[in-house]
Amino acid sequence: MSLLEIENLSAGYGPEVDVLHGISLDLNEGELLAVVGPNGAGKTTLLRTVSGVLHPSSGRITLKEKDITNYGPEEIIKMGLSFVPQDQHIFPSLTVKENLEMGAYTLKGDQGERMEEIFSIFPQLQSRLGQQAGSMSGGQQQMVAVGRGLMIQPEILLLDEPTAGLQPSLVKMMLDKVREINKLGVSVLLVAQTLEALELSERAYLLSAGEIVLSGKTEELIEEDKVQDLYFGSSRTEEGEGR
């Protein structure tokens, strides 16, 4: 039984305006799974639905063999699933320390120990604890966002394009951190924007126009035309549905 199972999920932002149509996907324990696809395919919608922010219109989501389809985000995080959105991912008027504290909101007691663990992954945060998160650079905010997501020691981490908007030098650093986090035992569902991000994973899904179009081992998927199109332009396919 997989850790996270999504069966035939449809979801969207209004009545009869579904963005996802019958998605099925599973995440195994310890895996680093990538979801790729063109803009507007529904990758963010998928993460928002799994994390409980959006309610699905049909289908089922099972976490650790429990049906969480209609759970709200407050309940899902208590089950060990943590979501780091792509933007609006920090509390700008709170300090770094306070952002991290909010990450551990559902836990009791002092989180000093946990914060030390976060610092071992993101040492740059330690010196900036009192700084207002909104005044930090994009890369630093990203670290705060991911750090916040890790505070509850999640079993599953949903990461939406963690390298978006980062300078190239920081992209590699962030991806190394994602690998590090996975090696620590956290199962990761990564919405991957870049080829390097995709290559972190062993398995991947290609999402397009709200449907799973391809799935399988990453090293095989990368060879597929449709996936190549995402990163290298659409000159090589006949039915150029990519970008």
Partner 1 sequence: MADLFVNGIILGSIITLGAIGVTLIADILNFFNFAHGDMFSFGAYMTLFFLGIFPNWGTFPGLTFGPAMIVAALLAMGITAAFALFFDRILFKPLRERGASSLFLALSALGVAFIFRSIIRLVWGPQVQYYSRALQMAKRFPMGITIKPDEFFIVGAAFFLVLVVYLFLKRTKMGKAMRAASDNETLARVTGIDTEKVVIWTWIIAVSLTAAAGILYGIEVQLRPIMGWNILIPIFVAVIVGGVGNLWGALVGGMIIGVAQELLTGVLQNMFNAMNVDVLMSAYKPAVAFVLMIIVLLVRPEGIFGTGE
Q: Rule CB under 8 A: which residues touch partner 1?
A: 51-53, 72-74, 77-78, 83, 85, 88-94, 98, 101-103, 105-106, 148, 152
Q: Least Å distance between CB 74 and partner 1?
A: 5
Measured from the CB atom, the residue of 37 and 85 that comes closer to partner 1 is 85
- What is the closest distance, in whole angstroms, from the C-beta atom of residue 91 to partner 1 in the complex? 4
CB of residue 45 to partner 1, shortest distance in Å: 14
Q: Closer to partner 1 by CB, 118 or 152: give it.
A: 152
Paired with 5 in beta bridges are 26, 62
Rounded to a whole number of angstroms, the minimum distance from the CB of residue 209 to partner 1 is 25
74 vs 116, which CB is nearer to partner 1? 74
Rounded to whole angstroms, the Cα distance separating 10 from 30 reads: 26
With a CB cutoff of 8 Å and minimum separation 6, the contacts of 104 are: 111, 114, 151, 152
Nearer Cβ to partner 1 (94/173): 94
The helix (H) or strand (E) run that includes residue 160 is strand 156-160
User: 64 and 27 in contact (C-beta within 8 Å)?
Assistant: no
CB of 208 to partner 1, least distance (A): 26
Q: Is the CB of 133 or the CB of 230 nearer to partner 1?
A: 133
String of DSSP letters for 188-226: EEEE--SHHHHTT-SEEEEEETTEEEEEEEHHHHTTSHH
- Are the C-beta atoms of residues 148 and 107 closer than 8 Å to each other? no
Q: Report d(CA 50, CA 5) in Å as an integer.
A: 10
